A and B are shown apart, each in its own frame.
Chain A
Amino acid sequence: MSAATQQAKDNNLICDMYEGHAPFKPRYVLPDYQLFLQQGSKYLELEPAQDFDDALNNLMILYHFVPSVTNIPVFIGHLDQLLMPYVGELSEEQIYSKLKRFWIMLDRVLPDAFMHANIGPSDNIVCRTILKIDAELAQIAPNLSLLFDTEKTPESLLLQACENIATTSKPHIVNHNMHKQKYAEKGYGVVSCYNVLPVAGGCNTLVRVNLKGVAEQANSITDFMQVQLPLYCQAAYELIEARCQFLHKDSNFFDHFLVQEGILDEKRFAPMFGIYGMAECINTLLSKEQLQGHYGEDQNANALALEITQLVAKIVDQTEVPYGYHGRALLHSQGGLNSDVDVTPGIRIEYGTEPDPITHLMSLAPQHQYFTSGVSEILTLEPTVRGNPQAIQQLCKGAFNHGIGIFTANVATNDLVRITGYMVRMSDINKLSEQGSRTNTTALADGAIKSTHVSQRQPRVVSHEFNHWQNK
């Protein structure tokens, strides 16, 4: 690693998520569960699934073998598509009780809110039943995304999801029309917080650029755009390269049975190129130029952010990497770490300065299309919305119309609250200090809540995705 890159890292302008430069496993792994159910596994001595019980059982077994920094998988599959072929003659009640046990098992055995299940875009009994159970149980795990496709998803299914949001702030709703072309025929999965990655592959490494820090180095907008930002992007690429070389060449990871059995494909792994601190970056640059304007509120500020996003997207598009998806990294609006102080995650608007939900969505929507591997806004809605879930539905459809990639809402005063992209139960946070918690992410969120004063405001997002004690 060059001295300049080392220095950029030491100054926290670029960051490798504290995983060290010799990672032994990829950061996010998305097994091809469909293939696994169809063919079984030699290594695990499992026959192909014959019925619904087999399918659930085999999935649960495989979840324990999916490599992950937390040892809990960040992606557990497009569950309705996986399970529908095995429904057979089962009645609605039978499906309900089997899935309910499965859902409780997931939360108790793999208690981590980064574990992400996907459902939709088509309407089916498994999808509906999962939504029903998820609202009843109101667990932090698994994280849940409904894929919404204007052609395939009926309004009534979207409304059911919005009714769930009104009481539990889950699921995320994903703009499938926008994402479905991605990653060829095996498609994408939404994993961990809101990362959009190739199925049968994933993310080998995540490196992020601190836009706030880079803006502080720049003496003008031109200097930022023409000199500083490209410079630190190159440094980030150097980090990516070093880490990928190790993982793909020296780590032996790709001898894993999942790769040998075709459930993972080395070619479908790519680095995520994250940026964060856009809000502070814009405000810093504007004040250096003695210009008025505040990110999220003013046209000129939002336009500058769009220019920056386009510039980074161009760099990512033009920079070849040896271990990428078609030779490229994937741009990501990164959620932050709990060591971040006074930096807003990704391209989000600073906490406490958000405009009304519609203005909020409209001011950020133009940037969303550029973040191939995920970007999210979390809207905080008034509790009165509980009596009016159609309003959430309309907000979501309007958001997708304007190009928002993933729609996520927290309803203030719900016990379940979303932190960055994952869930915590406020009542658990309050118990934690006395009794400890059985879930991984609750302790994480407690740190986040204390360090960001989130509980003194409306329940809202907190700025990190993983913290490093978990990665050791």
Chain B
Amino acid sequence: MNSIIGKINKIIHFSVVDGPGSRLVIFLQGCNYNCINCHNPHTINHCNSCQECVVTCPPSALQTIDEQQPPKYSTDICIGCDTCISLCPINSDPRISEISVTEMLTEISKYASFIEGITVSGGEATLQFKFVKSLFEAIKQDTHLSHLSCFIDTNGSLQVDKWRQLIDVTDGVMVDLKAWDQQVHLKLTGKSNHKVKETIKYLAKHNKLYEVRLLEIPTVTDYLLRIDEMASWLHQHASGVKIRINGFRHHGVTGKALALPQATKQDTNSLKLSLQQHQFEDICISGAFI
């Protein structure tokens, strides 16, 4: 019995865009970035138990049991209207489940024959380092699950000595490089990208870098402006890396992110072209954004 707990926002049983093949994806609550363009802002913060969402829930799927605890959430009553998350004052979500590693293994077992592996995503998955590490270890030790590959979708902010502890049980990592320049990255996410670059270097060196993801926001991100520098750095530290281009879209974003310009097909295509001219071979543009 492994009782290490993960705070889980949701689980998707069948995803085709979170690593190779068919994958079960676990979205962990909590993020250390504050991206102005965030598509899932309700995954950023942990609930502070203010109870404000309780009265707003139309079918009363939320209940106050203890003022000091997050509201009690009933899945079977919830109608998925998202009122709670749109009104939460701190970008949190009352529908979080606390699931132990053992319980998670049971859940994964049900779907094991349909999937190539699992991916932890978020929020920022690596903030729940202990949970991720012991979940991956448990999968590798389980005779029925050890064939599943374990992937992480990350913003790259985890320190290298922490990656070192994960590297043996992790099969692949998708890293977001949200901007090339320190200042641009800081403006966009609230954090510098120094650790992201260290992460990319470290994972590439250990053959665990599955893909680097670029999110193109016209006039905001600086990939095209700094392409020469970025390209030679990537060739030097992560040669042969697969690059996935996402184009920023308004679908699913709220508030001030709506003021940012959307990427057109032309924007993502010209980034792809430029990367090709800089000798990158493995480039894809995410289908959802075409």
Contacts and interface: CB of A to CB of B under 8 A. Distances in A.
21 contacts: A356-B12, A358-B13, A358-B14, A358-B114, A358-B115, A382-B16, A383-B287, A384-B287, A385-B16, A386-B287, A387-B16, A388-B16, A388-B17, A388-B22, A391-B23, A394-B114, A394-B116, A395-B14, A395-B114, A397-B114, A398-B113
A70 interface: no
B270 to A, nearest CB: 20
A361 B113 CA distance: 12
B14 A356 contact: yes
- Contact-size category for B: 10 to 19
B218 interface: no
Contact of B115 (A381, A387, A394): A394
A430 interface: no
- Interface on chain B toward A: helix, strand, loop, or mixed SS? mixed
- The winner among B12, B14, B21, B288 for most chain A CB atoms within 10 A is B14
Interface of B: 12-14, 16-17, 20-23, 110-111, 113-116, 284, 286-288
A436 interface: no
Contacts of B23: 391
Contact of B13 (A356, A390, A397): A356
Contacts of B288: 382-384
A444 B110 CA distance: 40
B68 to A, nearest CB: 33
Contact of B114 (A381, A386, A390, A399): A399
A357 interface: yes
- Interface on chain A toward B: helix, strand, loop, or mixed SS? helix
A402 interface: yes
B276 to A, nearest CB: 17
Interface in A370-389: 381-388
A356 B14 CA distance: 7
Contacts of A395: 14, 22, 114
A401 B14 contact: no
A401 B113 contact: yes
Nearest to A413: B287
A168 B45 CA distance: 43
B284 A358 contact: no
A118 to B, nearest CB: 25
Given A356-B14, A394-B116, A397-B113, A384 B286 contact: yes
A260 interface: no
A71 interface: no
B22 A359 contact: no
Given A384-B288, A399-B114, 12 more contacts: A356-B12, A358-B13, A358-B115, A361-B114, A385-B16, A388-B22, A391-B23, A393-B21, A394-B116, A395-B14, A395-B22, A398-B113
B119 to A, nearest CB: 12
B21 A390 contact: yes
A359 B13 contact: yes
A395 B14 CA distance: 9
Nearest to A398: B114
Instruction: Give 10 closest A-B pairs by Cβ, nearest first.
Output: A398-B114, A391-B22, A384-B287, A394-B22, A390-B21, A391-B16, A398-B113, A388-B16, A401-B113, A385-B16
